[in-house]
């Protein structure tokens, strides 16, 4: 498989009044062509910062890249100037945001918002661009697109707005689509429609998708690979079946266990993860999940575990999976 | 036969808006028995939160009766209502907005005690507050802090402590977990379950997360556009839904298991929820229903017992069961 995007040892921090917040702390992953990769994690784990740093959408300052590379088609995005980014953003990499209510401009007609990008990136005349805009709305199944492009966002329902956002993101056939919690603000029945639409669009254009979400059901539905993120670091990565069937990191296991399943007996108690994620002003030196993990060992506190590969595509960062850990399980101390 | 603790009869709540009447809740009836959890689910705008608020008379109802322990609380004068309010409390959705940022945790939790003049001395009140904080998994040192010093899950615990202050019998939980992270959701839900067992509470649990509702509720009601579509025991409802809307709603839940998710058949609903302003006569779901017949657009179906303890409001329900 060809790699479309490769993130290497990326670290992003924010300079604030109280000191530096290390939001993303040295993460590496890649996205192949035509695949869907999910980044899952709790709020504040750095998943949106990762997405925004790929798009260079973070306000700098306070944000800054500490180190690392983001290679898109072999070129390093971190080094690009704003001018160069404008050619990539919306053209080769597009983004859909969580809240369709606030991410469209309320004072502009929907058609104009789509046309804007077409004129800018594809040098179309305004008539051609409008024709294309209607085509796009039709593609995302907005009924009566000719009429709809002359309306304002407030005249659309939440699901319809998210369709417009998808049309907007897909106008210039980007190679990579970053979807930051695209269905969190929507109802389940509408969510199902939007996820289906995203799958169709992906088949049609061969786009790669990075899906950022905390809903594990959506992940199971959409994705090829899953990356589990916690406190700015990656704890586990693998194919969707590997992660759901055979999670190796205690955090992943607990995360999966804390979602009630439809076939679950109601007298069972839900797994809950006690405590809260660590403060990233003073990031922990060792495993970030240390103080919430019930299998934590002495070694976890001071040293971040290395990646331990279980299959070619599945790794986890946990001392329990280290070859030496078997001894610990048998009772001897490390 | 156990008498219901809460019995809602044909409750209606209309709001006057510029274009007409917004029928947020349009004649819903159900019973809640002591010690049980009744789940209320539906999509946004279906009126579930309005229903919750109307039931405890935070909104004055447009019509209907609500019996609490056999008394119709909609007819009670203000001072008697105050007495009843002691037994009925609420937990709100947004733990960030429902706690006054300028009050300490102790002041927040003590406020209901103060309003109802439960304790004479400060000392006693303080002790009660500490006891409540311990009950919800917080401790004494938290009492002097302000809400902004807490995480979302902890704030929700403060909200629960406040709701428990007056030893209520009935608590309306209006989406208490939807603003929280998955791992924290489980903490709060487990806490609510423990408290129910310990204190013998009765809950009305309003949520849009269907799998969570199934987990916590004994019986579940499904609402759509101000109408109650189906009521049944939660296992029965999720295993054998009758109403086409319930079926579509359940099939839209993404299941966190890739294999099941790939192989299951999903019912896709076309279009969006129609406007609740001056809705047409007939079944509210008729325009999106794949099984709609002309009769559905003419008369509004009423809740009928299709199977034992399983009610559905659908003209064709009996055919679906066969």
Residue A325 pLDDT:
67
Residue percentage of chain A with pLDDT more than 70 = 97
What is the Cα gyration radius of chain B? 21
Give the number of other CB atoms < 10 A from CB of residue B114.
12
Helices (H), chain A: 47-54, 82-88, 110-122, 126-139, 145-148, 158-170, 188-205, 216-222, 240-245, 250-257, 298-302, 325-329
B-chain residue closest to A264, CA distance: B215
User: How many whole angstroms separate alpha carbon A240 and alpha carbon B129?
Assistant: 47
**Residues B253, A188: C-beta atoms closer than 8 Å:** yes
Express each pLDDT in B84-109 by its tens digit.
888 999 998 888 888 999 999 999 99
Signed CA dihedral, B60, B65, B68, B72: sign only: positive
Calpha distance A255→A227 (Å, rounded): 13
Dihedral over alpha carbons A118, A169, A186, A137 (to 10 degrees): 40
Burial class (CB in 10 A: 0-12, 13-18, 19+), B190: middle
Q: How far is B282 from chain A (nearest CA, A)?
A: 22
Q: Is the pLDDT of residue A331 over 50?
A: no
Name the closest residue on chain A to residue B264, using Cα atoms: A221
Q: Is the pLDDT of residue A56 over 70?
A: yes
| A53, A225, B31, B60, B61 from B75: Cα distances, Å | 59, 59, 19, 11, 11
**Measured between CB atoms, which of B183, B238, B255 is closest to A272?**
B183
Of A102-106, A143-147, B161-165, highest mean pLDDT: B161-165
* Pick among B257, B260, B263, B289 to test the A interface (most A CBs inside 10 A): B257
Given a cut of 50, whether residue A224 has pLDDT beyond it is yes
Q: Are B14 and B22 contacting, i.e. CB atoms less than 8 angstroms apart?
A: yes
Q: Which of A190, A219, A264 sits opposite B215 (nearest CB)?
A: A264
Laid out side by side, the sheet with A19-32 consists of: A19-32, A3-16, A63-72, A75-76
Minimal Cβ distance to B258: which of A191, A241, A255: A241
Q: Which residue has the higher pLDDT, B15 or A101?
A: B15
Query: What tokens were used for B290?
Result: 């794949």
Residue A332 scores a pLDDT above 60: no
Quick check: B235 and B175 in contact, CB under 8 A? Answer: no
Contact between B89 and B161 under an 8 Å Cβ cutoff? The reply is no
A74-82 contacts, C-beta under 8 A, 24 or more apart: A80/A56, A82/A56
Radius of gyration (C-alpha) of chain A in whole angstroms:
21
Question: Three-class SS of residue A183?
Answer: coil
Which residue in chain A has the smallest CA separation from B245?
A: A189
Please give the pLDDT value at position A327. Answer: 56
What mean pLDDT, rounded, does chain A reach?
Answer: 84
| Token code pair at residue A265 | 């007996």
> Which of B208, B254, B259 is closest, CB to CB, to A217?
B254
> CA B11 to CA B30: how far, in whole Å?
10
Span B133-174, pLDDT tens digits = 998 888 888 889 999 888 888 899 999 999 999 999 999 999
**What is the Cα–Cα distance from A166 to A265, expressed in whole angstroms?**
39
The residue of chain B nearest to residue A196, with distances taken between CA atoms, is B268
Give me the residue label for tokens 């034992």.
B308
Query: Which parts of chain B register pLDDT below 50?
Result: none
Give residue A333's pLDDT.
Answer: 42
Please judge whether B182 and A244 are an interchain contact, meaning their C-beta atoms are less than 8 angstroms apart: no
A255 and B257 within 8 Å at the Cβ level: the answer is no
Residue A329 has pLDDT above 60, yes or no: no
* Pair B168, B84: CB distance under 8 Å: no
Cβ atoms within 10 A of the Cβ of B319, count? Answer: 9
Q: What is the mean pLDDT of residues A93-110?
A: 84
The strand pair at A225-230 and A233-239 is best described as antiparallel
- The percent of residues in chain A predicted with pLDDT above 90, rounded, is 6
Which strands make up the sheet holding A225-230, listed edge to edge?
A93-96, A176-180, A208-213, A36-40, A225-230, A233-239, A315-316, A308-309
CA dihedral A190, A196, A199, A200 (to 10 degrees): -120
Residue B46, pLDDT score: 85
Q: Which residues contact B283 (CB under 8 A, 6 or more apart)?
A: B289, B292, B296, B297, B300, B301, B313, B314, B315
Rounded to whole angstroms, how far apart are CA atoms B266 and A196?
A: 11
B211 chain-A contacts, CB cut-off 8 A: 217, 259-262
Minimal CA–CA distance to B89: which of B13, B187, B199, B164?
B164
Length of chain B: 322
Query: According to the model, what pLDDT value does residue A147 have?
Result: 86
Q: Which two tokens stand for residue A120?
A: 């800018």
Residue B107 corresponds to which tokens in the numbers above? Answer: 């002041």
Gap between the Cα atoms of B199 and A19, Å rounded: 45
Rounded to 5, what percent of chain B is helix, strand, coil?
Answer: 40, 25, 40
Contacts of residue A190 in chain B, CB cutoff 8 Å? 43, 272
Is the per-residue pLDDT at A288 higher than 70?
yes
Question: Above 50 in pLDDT, residue A291?
Answer: yes
Ramachandran sector of residue B20 (left: φ over 0; alpha: ψ -120 to 50; beta: rest): left
Quote the CA–CA distance of B147 and B103 in Å, as a whole number.
Answer: 8
In which band, very low, low, confident or very high, does the pLDDT at A319 lie, cut at 50, 70 and 90? confident
Tokens of A288: 């970030």
* Four-point Cα dihedral A309, A311, A316, A319, nearest 10: -50
SS3 A224: coil
Spatial CA neighbour of B311 closest among B210, B219, B249: B219
Is A170 within 8 Å of A94 (Cβ atoms)?
A: yes
Cα angle: A42, vertex A178, A198; to 5 degrees: 105
DSSP B224-264: ETTEEEEEEEHHHHHHS--SHHHHHHHHTSPPS-HHHHHH-
What count of Cα atoms within 13 Å lies in the side-chain half-sphere of residue B318? 5
């Amino acid at each position: 498989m060809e790699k479309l995007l490769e993130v290497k040892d990326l670290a992003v921090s924010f300079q604030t009044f109280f000191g530096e917040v290390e939001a993303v702390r040295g993460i590496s992953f890649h996205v192949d062509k035509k695949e869907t990769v999910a980044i899952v994690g709790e709020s504040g784990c750095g998943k949106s910062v990762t997405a925004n740093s790929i798009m260079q959408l973070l306000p700098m300052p306070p944000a800054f890249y500490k180190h690392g590379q983001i290679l898109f088609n072999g070129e390093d995005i971190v080094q690009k100037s704003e001018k160069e980014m404008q050619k990539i953003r919306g053209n080769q990499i597009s983004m859909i945001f969580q809240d369709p209510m606030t991410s469209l401009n309320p004072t502009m007609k929907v058609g104009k918002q789509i046309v804007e990008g077409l004129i800018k990136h594809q040098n179309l005349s305004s008539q051609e661009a409008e024709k294309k805009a209607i085509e796009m709305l039709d593609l995302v199944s907005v009924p009566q697109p000719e009429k709809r492009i002359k309306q304002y966002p407030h005249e659309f329902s939440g699901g319809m707005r998210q369709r417009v956002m998808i049309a907007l993101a897909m106008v210039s056939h980007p190679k990579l689509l970053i979807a930051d919690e695209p269905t969190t603000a929507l109802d389940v029945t509408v969510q199902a429609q939007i996820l289906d639409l995203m799958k169709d669009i992906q088949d049609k254009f061969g786009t790669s998708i990075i899906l950022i979400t905390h809903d594990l059901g959506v992940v199971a539905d959409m994705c090829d690979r899953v990356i589990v993120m916690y406190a700015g670091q990656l704890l586990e990565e693998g194919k969707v079946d590997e992660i759901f069937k055979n999670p190796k990191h205690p955090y992943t296991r607990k995360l999966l266990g804390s979602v009630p399943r439809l076939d679950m007996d109601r007298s069972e108690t839900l797994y809950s993860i006690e405590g809260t994620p660590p403060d990233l002003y003073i990031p922990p030196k060792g495993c970030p999940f240390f103080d919430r993990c019930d299998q934590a060992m002495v070694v976890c506190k001071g040293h971040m575990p290395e990646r331990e590969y279980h299959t070619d595509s599945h790794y986890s960062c946990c001392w329990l999976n280290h070859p030496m850990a078997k001894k610990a399980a048998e009772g001897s101390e490390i | 036969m156990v008498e219901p603790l809460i019995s809602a009869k044909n409750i209606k709540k209309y709001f006057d808006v510029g274009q007409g009447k917004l029928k947020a809740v349009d004649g819903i009836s159900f019973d809640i028995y002591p010690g049980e959890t009744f789940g209320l689910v539906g999509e946004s705008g279906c009126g579930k939160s309005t229903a919750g608020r109307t039931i405890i008379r935070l909104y004055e109802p447009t019509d209907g009766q609500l019996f609490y322990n056999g008394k119709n609380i909609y007819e009670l004068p203000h001072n008697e209502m105050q007495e009843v309010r002691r037994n009925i409390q609420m937990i709100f959705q947004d733990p960030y907005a429902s706690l006054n940022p300028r009050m300490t945790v102790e002041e927040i939790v003590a406020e209901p005690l103060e309003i109802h003049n439960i304790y004479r001395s400060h000392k006693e009140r303080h002790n009660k507050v500490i006891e409540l904080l311990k009950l919800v998994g917080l401790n004494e040192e938290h009492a002097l802090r302000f809400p902004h010093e807490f995480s979302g899950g902890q704030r929700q615990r403060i909200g629960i402590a406040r709701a428990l202050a007056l030893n209520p019998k009935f608590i309306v939980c209006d989406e208490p977990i939807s603003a929280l992270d998955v791992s924290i959701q489980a903490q709060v839900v487990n806490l609510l379950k423990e408290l129910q067992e310990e204190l013998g509470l009765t809950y009305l649990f309003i949520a849009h997360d269907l799998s969570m509702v199934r987990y916590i509720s004994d019986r579940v009601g499904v609402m759509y556009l101000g109408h109650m579509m189906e009521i049944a025991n939660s296992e029965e409802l999720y295993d054998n839904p009758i109403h086409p809307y319930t079926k579509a709603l359940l099939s839209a839940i993404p299941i966190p298991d890739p294999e099941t998710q790939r192989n299951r058949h999903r019912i896709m609903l076309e279009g969006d929820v129609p406007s609740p302003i001056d809705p047409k006569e007939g079944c509210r779901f008729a325009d999106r229903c794949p099984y709609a017949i002309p009769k559905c657009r003419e008369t509004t179906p009423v809740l009928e017992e299709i199977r034992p303890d399983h009610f559905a409001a659908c003209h064709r329900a009996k055919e679906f069961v066969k």
